Amino acid sequence: MLYLTGISGKPPHREIRKVALGAEEIVAWRHHENPVECARKLKQSGVKLVALEITEDSVPYNECAYAFPMCLIVGNEYHGITPELLAEADLTVHIPMRGGKISLNVAVAYGVAIYEITRQAQSLK
């Protein structure tokens, strides 16, 4: 399930359709106005919350053993994840970077992290 929160665009939307190439019709999604409330509801239902953000306490995404079910939280392209939402996370992970830049485009970062998370989830089956 994909949870879209806050100012995130949501289907039906012409630009989402153009980029998603039809995936918006097969990926289950819900929109919640308040990301913190959404996170709390997920947590109450037993979902582990993992924030993808560089912080003093974050650990490399590929050095974690993820607990399932889980929700990967990614932030706003410019402002990242709010402190209130970060406080709800059970784990904060980051993608180690080399060179001058310290972050990736949010869609690229999500793709990198979810690949490892999915690999781990499939190895449990």
Per-domain boundaries in the chain: 1-33, 40-123
pLDDT above 90 covers what percent of the chain? 56
Which pLDDT tens digit goes with each residue over 110-123?
999 999 999 999 98
One-letter amino acid for residue 9 of the chain: G
Q: How many angstroms separate the Cα of 64 from the Cα of each of 14, 43, 122?
A: 37, 19, 15
Provide the whole-model pTM.
0.87
**Which CATH number among 1.20.140.10, 3.40.50.720, 3.40.1280.10, 3.40.50.10070 corresponds to the domain 40-123?**
3.40.1280.10
SS3 85: helix
